[in-house]
Chain A
Amino acid sequence: MAHILIIDDDGALLMTVRAALMTKGHSVKQAKDGLDGLDFANKDAFDLIITDANMPGGVSGYQLVQNLRKTGAYQNVPIIFLTGRREKKDVIRALESGADDYVVKPIDYDLLLSKVDLLLKSGRVVPTANAPNSPSPSKGEGSANVQFAATWSLNVQIETLTETGLAIQSSFKVPIGFEIEIESTMFKEIGISAPKLTVIACLENPESGAGFTIETRFLEISKVDARRVADWVRAAAKKQSY
């Protein structure tokens, strides 16, 4: 059975939806606004999230979903909007923010439970760029299971360097926590070997088609290299301030 987070500022609704989900054997956690919802989502691992659209506290349901979709852990977790807003433009806004389904209040509990059930079974369906008829490297006749280490090179642009990491412009999304290595003449100029990096944020650039800003932190950097980076950053910053 699934672990589900419900976010709504209406205490009565939290109570009834929790009870309805528990009759189906799910475990449920409740948050009273978007901020609490984000906090709970970051501290726990939920299989499905149900959220209201308009809530007090500064984080709306739309902002909450957009935020969750940017983090690796919730990119593929089904999210349902449960709201009193019933106009088509509201549904479109919810879907555009990253929601998978939409239920209008007053709640039809049978409908809500069946949508929860369906999304838990089928998972999140995200459109991909795969051509429908292209062969996929799935298991089957004419394929072999192999285990070889490999690297995948991408061209990216380093935009910011700090003493603790760097920000990269990329056309691809990279999950948070992912470890990467990049080669750049910048490291030669600083006088260090290419450091390993871990992704701490991956933000979609607001201009359409502008890709992603990937924020990283250095991993396993020697003290000497760290000092060289710090000196280089300070010197570069000083030069830029003139």
Chain B
Amino acid sequence: MEELKMSHLNLELIEKLRSFQIPGEPDMITEIVGILLSTAPSKMNSLTLQIASGDLVAASKEAHSLKSSALSLGAERLGAICQAIESIAGAGMSATAGKMKADALLLDLRAEWIIVQGELHRLS
């Protein structure tokens, strides 16, 4: 994961998205930020429970879904951490090693979400 090169939020992408704003419709960025702020916490809670119970296949699906939401607004580091969690299930690790890795990534994910959340609030 080339984390240092990635942004918490890709502002260039956000500018691009602003250029797609349809006149007369609600502000798209505000709406997307609203979607991410309201759906990401429940996705992370599900992910936490799935990893705690060792269900790495379910965690992989949840991480894939959260990755998609994160990347829609250019939350690149968040997306990369989700990708790393998503890949554990198919990586051929033992259940214990997989869970340990997932636990570590989950902590990373929570920390990144706190930063992204702050930036999202500033955007909207």
A residues lining the B interface (CB < 8 Å): 8-13, 15-16, 19-20, 22-23, 52, 54, 84, 105-107, 109
Contacts and interface: CB of A to CB of B under 8 A. Distances in A.
A84 B71 CA distance: 9
The interface centre, meaning the residue of B13, B19, B72, B74 with most chain A CB atoms within 10 A of its CB, is B72
B65 interface: yes
Interface residues of B, number: 27
17 contacts: A10-B65, A12-B32, A12-B69, A13-B69, A15-B35, A19-B20, A20-B20, A54-B61, A54-B64, A84-B64, A84-B68, A105-B68, A105-B71, A106-B10, A106-B72, A106-B76, A107-B71
B32 A15 contact: yes
B20 A16 contact: yes
A22 B22 contact: yes
B97 to A, nearest CB: 22
B36 interface: yes
Interface in B64-85: 64-65, 67-69, 71-74, 76, 79, 83
A22 B65 CA distance: 25
Contacts of A54: 61, 64
Contacts of A8: 68
A16 B17 contact: yes
Given A13-B68, A19-B22, A23-B20, A106 B28 contact: no
A87 to B, nearest CB: 10
B120 to A, nearest CB: 12
Contacts of B35: 11-12, 15
A24 to B, nearest CB: 10
Contacts of A13: 68-69, 72
B13 A106 contact: yes
Interface string B51-70: 00000000001001101110
B16 interface: yes
B107 to A, nearest CB: 22
